[in-house]
Structure 1
C-alpha cells in the first residue's frame, strides 16, 4: 500500500492535467481543420483554415508585431537586466533597497503594467500633458495613438515589467561565480569591463540560455499586456498572434480560424521549448 500511495495521490492531478491541457490542445487542433464558426462544427476541411490565415493582412501585421515585440522585449529585458545585475554585483550601498526597487515591477501583473503605462503614455492625461502643464508646449509623445509607433509602447512596458526578473536571474548567476577568478584576472591587469566581457558573461551561458527561453515564450504568448495597454489598436496596429486569435474566436465568430492561429503559436512555442528540454535532459543523463 505504501508503494502505491504516492501514485494514487498524484493520479487525479495527472489525469486532470492530461485532460485540460493536452486534451484541449488536441481539441483545438481538431477545430483548426474544421469549418467551425460561431459554434464547433466538425466537418473536415483539411488545411483550408491555415490557408485563409496566411492570406489575411491582419495576421501578417500580428506576425510583424510579434517580431518587433519579441526582439525589443527579449533583447531589452536581457540587456537592461544584465546591466542592473552587474551594477548590484559591485557591492554598492543600499543594495537591498535598490534590488527591491528593481524587482518591484515583477510583482505586478501584465494587466496592471499595461493599465499604468496606458495612463502614462496617453497624450491627453499622461506624460505629454504633464510637460505641457510645466510650460513645455512643444513636447509631443503620441506613440500610443500612432499606428507605426504604438507597438513600441508595448515594448517599453514589457521591458519595464521583466527587466527586474532578468536582473534577479543574472545576479544569482554572478554571485555563483568564484571571486578568485576575477581577482586573478585583476592581478594580471585586466580591466573590470574586460573581465565581465571575457570571463564573467561567458560563464553565465546557462543563465543566458534559460532566460532567453523564458522571455521568448512569454513574448510569443503575450496577450494581457497588449489588451490592457492598446487592446490591439489603433485599429489592429498592435495586434499580436494571441490577440488575433482572441478576436477571431470570440468577437468575429471564426473559431476555426482562431484555432488555426493558436496552433501556429503552439508550434512556435514548442520549437523553442522542446529543444531546451531535450538539451536539459541530455545534460542530466550525461552527468549520471
Structure 2
C-alpha cells in the first residue's frame, strides 16, 4: 500500500478524531464525574469525601422526589399516548392524498421547529387567566367562562401535557407518515381485491406492519419526557408549589438552589438509568432485527 492510499484511509479517522475526543470528554467524562459526585457528600461545591449510596437513600426518602416521579408518570403516560394517537390520526389523514397535503404538513410540523422555551412562554400567556383564554372569553361577553388549570395544584400538570403534545405531535405524525408511505402497495391492493375495507386494511395490515415506527416514537417521546426541563421552567416554573415539578427540575433545584450537589447528582444518575432502560432494549431489538 503506497503513502497516498494510506493517507486516504487515515484521513476520515483524523477528521473524526477531534470530535470523538470532545464527545468522550464532555459527554461520557462528565457522566462519569456526575456518577462520582453522587457518591460523595458534595454540597455547594464538589467534595471528594466518599459516602457510598447515602445520597441515593436520602433521595428516595424525600417527598419532593416522589412528587416529581409521580408527576413524571402522569406527564409521560399522557404525553406518549396522546402524541401517538394524534400523530397516527394525522398521518392516516394525510395518507389519503387529500388536497392541500403540501400545505398541511408544514403547519403540523411547525411547532417542532420552536424551542421548548418559546412553546412554554406562549402557552403560559395563553393559559394565564389574566391575559389569556379566560380573559379573552370574558371580553367577548362570556363572563361565566373559567379556565384556571395553570393555577390549580391538581390540574397544572395537564397544562404541561397540552403544551408538550402541541409541540411534538407533528413530529410523531411525520414518523408515522413515513412508515405509512413505506408499506408495500401490493399487499394493500391484494387486500382491496379481496374486498377489505380501508378500516380493515389499516387495522389488520398497515398498523401491525408499523410496529418499528411505534417503538421508535415511544423511545423518542419517553426520552423527551424524562429530560423535560425548559418547557416546565417557561410554562409553570415547577409550580404552583410542587405541582409540575419533574426529575429534571428537581435535579436543578437541589444542585444549584438548595446546594445539595450530591443529591442532585444522584437524581441525575437515576434519570440516566431511566433513559438507558428505554434505549438499551431498543438498540438490542434493532441489532437483533438487523442480524435476522
Q: TM-score range by the shorter chain?
A: over 0.9
Per the normalisation by structure 1, the TM-score is 0.97
1:184 and 1:250 map into 2 onto residues whose CA distance is 61
Give me the CA root mean square deviation: 1.0
After alignment, is 189-198 or 177-186 more displaced?
A: 177-186
Does 1:45 pair with 2:56?
A: no
2:3 corresponds to = none
2:291 corresponds to = 285
Structure 1: runs of 5+ lacking an equivalent: none
2:66 and 2:206 map into 1 onto residues whose CA distance is 40
Does 1:26 pair with 2:24?
A: no
1:29 and 1:140 map into 2 onto residues whose CA distance is 47
1:177 corresponds to = 183
- Per-residue deviation, residues 140-193 of structure 1 (Å, max 9, x unmatched): 110000001000000000000000000001101111112232232223222211
1:56 corresponds to = 62
1:235 and 1:127 map into 2 onto residues whose CA distance is 23
1:256 corresponds to = 262
1:208 and 1:246 map into 2 onto residues whose CA distance is 32
Does 1:211 pair with 2:217?
A: yes
Which of 92, 106, 113 is the aligned partner of 2:98? 92
2:235 corresponds to = 229
Specify the SS of the correspondent of 2:205: helix
1:253 and 1:273 map into 2 onto residues whose CA distance is 31
- Per-residue deviation, residues 42-96 of structure 1 (Å, max 9, x unmatched): 1011111111111111101100010011011111111000000000001111111
2:46 and 2:243 map into 1 onto residues whose CA distance is 29
- Per-residue deviation, residues 229-256 of structure 1 (Å, max 9, x unmatched): 0010101210000000000001111100
Does 1:68 pair with 2:54?
A: no
Structure 2: runs of 5+ lacking an equivalent: 1-5
Tell me the CA shift for residue 9 of structure 1.
1.7
Specify the SS of the correspondent of 1:55: coil
Does 1:7 pair with 2:33?
A: no
Does 1:36 pair with 2:42?
A: yes
- Per-residue deviation, residues 250-285 of structure 1 (Å, max 9, x unmatched): 111110010000000001100110111122222223
- Per-residue deviation, residues 13-67 of structure 1 (Å, max 9, x unmatched): 1111111111101100111011000000110111111111111111011000100
Aligned length: 286
2:234 and 2:185 map into 1 onto residues whose CA distance is 44
Which of 261, 276, 281 is the aligned partner of 1:270? 276
2:196 corresponds to = 190
Does 1:126 pair with 2:132?
A: yes
2:110 corresponds to = 104
| Runs of 4+, deviation exceeding 6 Å | none
Which of 146, 150, 153 is the aligned partner of 2:152? 146
2:110 and 2:206 map into 1 onto residues whose CA distance is 26
1:273 and 1:74 map into 2 onto residues whose CA distance is 16
